[in-house]
Structure 1
Amino acid sequence: MAAGGSAIRGSRVGSGPMGEQDRGFHAERVQISYWDALGNETVRSFSANVPDDEIPATIDCPSSGLPAGRDQENPPSASKLEPYKTHLAYVKERRSDDEATELLDEALLQLRTRRGTATAE
């Protein structure tokens, strides 16, 4: 064996036996099942001393992204999905056509002034 090497490769000097009793106290847990509209089950663990009203009624299912509830027979329905909006769509919601024209004219005037091609009005 090389000088300074460990007899058990990957162990640290002074490390004791690895076992459940050496890892500390483990809190009691309860397993709660959640189901989504596709029938996927997701199980979450919660501390046994957490009141039932603090355990969430719905979660997002990691496999489908749909909401999942605790009632297998009546899973929550998916909320209305909003279509993807572009930046321009959001701007159009906030600005009227007149405001957009005015802002465009101001921006063009600034650009032409910087380039030295602005015309006197």
Structure 2
Amino acid sequence: MAGGNAIRGSRVGAGPMGEAERGEAAPRRFVSFWCSNGHETRPSFAEEPGLAVPEQWDCPRCGFPAGQDRDNPPAPPKVEPYKTHLAYVKERRSDEDGAAILEEALESLRGRGLIQ
């Protein structure tokens, strides 16, 4: 017997983790959720009184929202494309407004002698 170390090869927290040490598992129920791509997800929830199951769950396969109604899943989120600053300005101003602002700026620069 070399050294007589009884816990050789162990680490903190290691050991048998049976039901006797952890306690009894809480009763669970599985709920099915479907996304608009037809993927089914079945997370489990504890059966506790007053514990509500969420109406929507994120699909782990595609990331779309999933609901409990297989025939009417929630619609996927609408993703708007990236807009530049110029695109936002064009939404607020007409071409005539832009021409007037440009002419005003040019007149200001001409008045200061910066352009001819």
Structures share a fold, TM > 0.5? yes
- 2:80, 2:6 → 1: CA distance? 61
Q: 1:34 to 1:120 in 2, by over 3 A?
A: same
Q: 1:71 to 1:88 in 2, by over 3 A?
A: same
| Structure 1 residues 49-60: aligned runs within 5 Å | 49-51=48-50, 54-60=52-58
Q: CA deviation at 1:22?
A: 0.5
The residue number in structure 2 matching 1:22 is 21
- Give a deviation string over 1:23-78, Cα, whole Å, max 9, x none: 134321111110112211111111212447x2112222121111211122322222
For structure 1, which segment, 60-69 or 21-30, has the greater mean C-alpha deviation from structure 2 after superposition? 21-30
Residue of structure 1 in register with 2:72 after alignment: 74
Computed over aligned residues only, the root mean square deviation of the Cα atoms, in angstroms, reads 3.7
Q: Which consecutive unaligned segments of at least 5 residues does structure 2 have?
A: 106-111
AA aligned to 1:10 is S
Paired AA for residue 55 in structure 1: V
* TM-aligned CA distance change 1:47 to 1:87, over 3 Å: farther
Classify 1:47/1:18 alpha carbon distance in 2 versus 1 (closer, same or farther; 3 Å): closer
Q: Distance in 1 between matches of 2:49 and 2:21?
A: 26
Q: Are 2:81 and 1:84 aligned?
A: yes
| Structure index of larger Rg | 2
Cα 1:65–1:17 change in 2 (3 A) is closer
The alignment of Structure 1 onto Structure 2 pairs a total of residues equal to 101
How far residue 86 of structure 1 moved from its aligned partner, in angstroms, is 4.4
What is the TM-score of this pair, normalised by structure 2?
A: 0.58
Identical counterparts, % of pairs:
31
State the shift of 1:92 in Å: 3.7
Equivalent runs, 1:105-116 vs 2, <5 Å: none
